[in-house]
Structure formats: C-alpha cells, structure tokens
Amino acid sequence: MRWIVRLIGVVVVVALVAVGSLFLIPADRIGGIVADQFERATGRSLTIAGDIRPSLYPTLGVRAEGVELGNPAWVEAGPMLRAERLHVGVELWALFTGAVRVQRFELVRPEIVLVQGADGAVSWDFSGGAPPGEVVEETAEAESGIAGFALDVAEISDGALHYIDQGTGTEVRAGDLDLTLTLPSAEGVARLEGNGALNGGAVAVEAAIDGLGPLLEGALRPVTLALTWEGGEAGFDGRVGLSPLGVEGQVALDATDLGPLLAMAGQATPALPQGLGRDRVAVEGDFTLASEGTAHLREARFTFDDNALSGDIDVMPGDDRPRIRAVLSGGALDLSALTGGDDAANRGDSTGNGGGWSRTPIDVSGLFAVDADAALVLAGLDLGIMQLGAVDLRATLDAGRLVFDLREVNAYDGGITGQYVINGRGGLSMGADLAIAGVRLSPLLSDFAGYERLEGTGDAELDVLMVGNDMHSLMNSAEGSGQVRFGQGAILGLDIWGMIRNLDTSYQGEGQRTVYDSITARFDIQDGVVSNDDLLLSAPFGDLTGAGTVGVGAQVLNYTVVPRVTTGQGAGLRVPLRISGAWSDPNFSLDLEALAEQELAGEIDALEERATGAVSEALGIAPAEGQSLEDAAEDELENRLREEAGRQLERLLGGN
C-alpha cells in the first residue's frame, strides 16, 4: 500500500506545481499557446488583440478580449469570427499528455461571417483553408483536421451571423444569437441548442450531428434538426455533407408564417392567396439537396390551407425566382380566391337589388413567388367562377401567368376541354378557350354568370378575354365569341306559351316555365355585353326566334323573342315578347302593336286577294300559279299586241 500512497503524493505535487506554473507564465504566452493549438486543430489563424487573463474558476483556462478568427484567403468579407470576449477552459490532466480538451468555450457578442463561393467552396471547410482550386497535399495532419479537438461546452451569447452565397447573391442575417454546443469528441455526437432573431422573429433550434469532424472534412454524416418559431416548426432527420453541399433525409414543415424560414434561404415572404398557403403550409416527405443547388421531394404530402396534394416535386434555382416541376394528385382543390371567391358579393346580388359584381381588388401577387410546371390529377377544382369535377390537367406558371390546359375534365355532369388562363402581369387578366359538351346548364350558368333560369343539358364553345383587377372590371371588359347547342330543357320563371295564348305578360301558369326541345345560337361579346341575332328555340307549342343583348357586366337583359305558335288555339300567331331589366328579376312585355300589324296585314292580304279576283274576272285574265295579277296582265297585253301586229302586217303584205 505504501507505493500507492507515494504515487498519490507524487500526483498531488505535480498538480500543484502545474497550477503554480500557470500563473507564473506570462499572459501573452498563454494566448500564444491557445492560438497555436487552435490553428493546428482548424487550419485557421487566431489573433487576440485585447487583454488576456488566466482563470482558475470555474475552469482552468484563459479569458481574452478582442478575438478574431480568419476566413480563407479567397473570402473578402472579413474574418470568419470577431468576438468581444473569449473564455477558454481546458482540462488540466489533458495538458500533461500534450492534448487539448476544452471544457468550456465561450464567445460574447461574436460576429460570424460564413461564405459560399460561386464555385461551391465554403469558408467553413477546415480541411486546410486553401483557396478554391488549389490542391491540398494529403498529409496525416491535414487529414486529421479537427480530429484532436473536443468541447465539453461551447456557448455563444448575443451573437450575429452573416451568411453570403456568392453564387446566387443570397445573404442571410441573424441576430440575438444564444447558442450552446457540446462536442465530446470529433467523432462523437455534437449537440446544438439555442435561439435567435431571424427576419424579425424569434427562432429556436435543436440539432445533433453524429461526427462533426468527418462532416467538416467532407463526409456525409447523420444529422437531426428541429426549428421552431411563433407560427411554425420544421424538422429534418437524415444525412448532410458540407463539401460538396448535400442533404438527404426526411423533412417535415408545418407553418402559418413562413417568414423566418424563407429568410434563412434569403427569400422574401410572398403574399400567398387563400388556397395556396396564405394561412397554413405543411410539407413532409423524402428530401434531397444536390450539390448543384437543386432540391427534390419524393413521396411528399403537401397541405396548402384546406387543399391537400401528394406526389413528387423538384425545385431548381432561377434568375428571378425558383422553378418547380411537379407530378401531383389530390382531392378537391379550392383556388376560388384567385378569382375573388364565390360569395354573393362577387357573383352579384341574386335578389335583384342591383348589387352587381364585387369591386374588391383581387390580389394575385402570389403568382410571382415561383415558376412552375405541374401535372395535376384532382378529384375537383374550384376556380371561383367555374366549378370542375375530376380533372387531368397541366398547369404552367411563368412569371405570374398561370395556364391550365384541361385535358380531361368532368364538370356539371359533362366534359370540358381547352385552356384557362389567369395572368397577373401588368394587372389581372383572364382568358378561356373552352369546348363544353353535355353539361348541366343551371349550375354552369349559375357559377359562371350568376344566372339560374335555364335547365337542361347542352354543348357550347367559348373564347373570351377579361381584363381588370376586380370582378366588376373583369365582367365589364369581357370580349370574345361563342355558340351554344342545348338539348331538351326549360326556361324557369317564364311561360312564353301562356303569355302568348292569353296575351298577358303577368300570366304565371302551372310551374311558371317554358319547356323547349332545343336551342341554338351564336353570339359575340364586347365590353361585357353578349350580342345575338340568330337564336332559334324549338318547343312543343311551336318555335321561337330571338335577337338582342345580355349585359354580363351590368347583369341586365335587353332581348326580344318572337314565338310562332303552331298548335292549338292561336296557331300561326306571332307575338314579339320583349325581355328587359335585371336578369335576376326581368320585365316582360308583349309587342301588341306588332300583333295589330299582323292582323291588319292579314286583312290587307284578304282585300288584295278579293280585288285581284274581281279585276281578273273583269279583264278575263287568269294568273298562273304563283303569278301576280300585274304580271299576268302584262303578259296578256303583250300577247294581244303581238297578235294585232301580226294581223296588220299580214294585211299590208296582201297575205304573203
């Protein structure tokens, strides 16, 4: 036991001598030792411009003021680190073996600058700090990098971070950083916790890296990351490489405010419309970030407000905005906010009180957030002024211009093909070039024009362009053309046969409706007014022709229809019916003057017929079928003149 006691005594004496020697060594000598060890471990210069004081409690070490850590020579943005104060506490027993184990590393008010070069080089690469393109000789010391460095606890208080990406021109700034890092060994698990201010909002971070040393030397290492802020949270679980930059793993995001997260990527927060993430964005899936700067999501699930999608998506850097390519599927997608919604104010006052279309400005600035090419298979699509069923379409968004190519669309129990465009460039405009087949008319016209008085099914072709920043301007600017072909159906609130039969526009009749077999018409649209002059309606009571205008913008009618009754009492009667006023509560009036003219014309025809018969009998002239009395008289006079001329000529020539 004696040798054990002697051994303990020797250790105690050596420790006392070592501690006493620490205070006998000049402070600048201690600073030099620390700087030399740090530079050997990281490959970077470390300078201490202020006072240096050794410390014994709470850890053995040194406190220094005015600390600066250099960036690689190719970085022109200044040192990588500049701190007001540095405190390094080392393990005493490790010093006796020549190793450096830092028990505490504290930075007060540091300013950190991280730079990624245009060629992909990064300033946080501690493999030797060589300029881009310079070949570094692989030595045992260079390969070890930070392998001999360890931190029990590292703390940053009241710090600032400036990140610069020279390739994209992106810059990110963060302040009020309070971070704690533990690194038992370069090959062990490094853990980071803390918070800071990013884009004006507080952000908290928790991260774990399994093998910080290999990560800094370019290896892919397991990493977990969790970010939380007021309005959202994001997480990652996978592998990360820094040189070259690469990420692969599971990501998850759920946020009502994307500002802090987009600020980390150097992007401004776009004004997203309802349905595209205005109130909530959630994403989860397999994520890959390639060294070229492209990002890829596979088997992903997206939530934008109440809209849900799934599929694959790729994001590529762009000159003005990111570009997205996607193949997605989902349930019913609600994009009604892009056209101002579907409330009564937007569609007009259906009660007939002249409410008109909404004048509330439509914000489409969210169309400029990204460019996109997407293939969508959806259970439904609500565009506000048009309701679609199951769809297979291609959507292209380019600099604020959104184009839907409708390949196979079920709508209103029929089908729609063609193209629909929402263009936010230089103000809002919308256009449609559509072919509609076998659709139910009542819900189609109700959604598109707020008109609910036509039942049945039909085909239509429509080519229309609208310009304006609200629904009122859009509807009043509409220009285009089209045609309709409707099958059997009914006009609600209007009994044309009853009005004609009773010569009473207030006639209601059973069901107050006009049943028809078919309707055909062509029309033109200018300044929100639909004009037509060839309407033909075939019905059991006869047929009906029509001409006039329908003010889609003003929601008014000025149209005249002329029914021709062919059955029952009044057969052959044609009474023009004028329809005018608001389309939600139109006025009807019979043109009785035209009816009187018809009766008078009939009497005149009868008198002319009797007079013609009397004259014909008196003159002994019988007109041929389809020949007028005047023509028959002229023919008879000509024949008689020829006969008389022949007799006179024969007499003059003596019969020869």
pLDDT band per the 50, 70, 90 thresholds, residue 645: low
Alpha-carbon distance of 301 to 286, in angstroms, equals 10
* Burial call 290-304: b when 16+ CB within 10 Å, e when fewer: eeeeebbbeebebbb
Nearest residue to 315 (alpha-carbon basis) of 298, 301, 296:
296
Helices (runs of H) and strands (runs of E) counted in the chain: 12, 32
The single residue listed with the structure tokens 């370069």 is: 186
pLDDT band per the 50, 70, 90 thresholds, residue 254: very high
Please give the model's pTM, rounded to 2 decimal places: 0.59
pLDDT attached to residue 198: 76
User: In terms of pLDDT, which residue wins out, 487 or 656?
Assistant: 487
Lowest mean pLDDT: which of 106-120, 333-347, 398-412? Answer: 333-347
pLDDT attached to residue 55: 66
Alpha-carbon distance of 53 to 28, in angstroms, equals 9
Q: Tell me, what amino acid is at 379? A: A
Lowest mean pLDDT: which of 265-274, 316-325, 495-504, 611-620? Answer: 611-620
Lowest mean pLDDT: which of 98-102, 137-141, 594-598? Answer: 137-141
Could you tell me the CA-to-CA distances from 240 to 245, 263, 289, 338 in Å, in that order?
A: 8, 21, 9, 39
* 244 cis-preceded (ω within 30 degrees of 0): yes
Question: Token digits for 171?
Answer: 């810059």
Is the alpha carbon torsion for 507, 511, 513, 516 positive or negative? negative
Alpha helices in 156-304 (DSSP H): 212-216, 259-264
In order, the DSSP letters of 232-274 are EEEEEEEEEEETTEEEEEEEEEEES--HHHHHHTT-PPP-PPT
The single residue listed with the structure tokens 């003596």 is: 654
**Percent over 90 (pLDDT), the chain:** 23
pLDDT band per the 50, 70, 90 thresholds, residue 465: very high
Kindly report the three-state secondary structure assignment for every residue of 434-493. EEEEEEEHHHHHHHHHCCCCEEEEEEEEEEEEEECCCHHHHHHCCEEEEEEEEEEEEEEC
Compute φ and ψ for 119, nearest 5 degrees. Answer: -90, 5
pLDDT at 136 over 60: no
Question: Token digits for 46?
Answer: 């470390």
Question: Token digits for 28?
Answer: 């600048």
Q: Is 22 helix (H, G, I), strand (E, B) or coil?
A: helix
pLDDT in tens, 1-56: 333 333 333 333 333 344 444 555 565 665 566 667 667 766 677 777 777 777 66
Q: Tell me, what amino acid is at 238? A: G
Alpha-carbon distance of 407 to 419, in angstroms, equals 9
Nearest residue to 398 (alpha-carbon basis) of 312, 468, 322, 467:
322
Burial class (CB in 10 A: 0-12, 13-18, 19+), 120: middle
Nearest residue to 551 (alpha-carbon basis) of 349, 356, 346:
356
Compute φ and ψ for 442, nearest 5 degrees. Answer: -60, -55
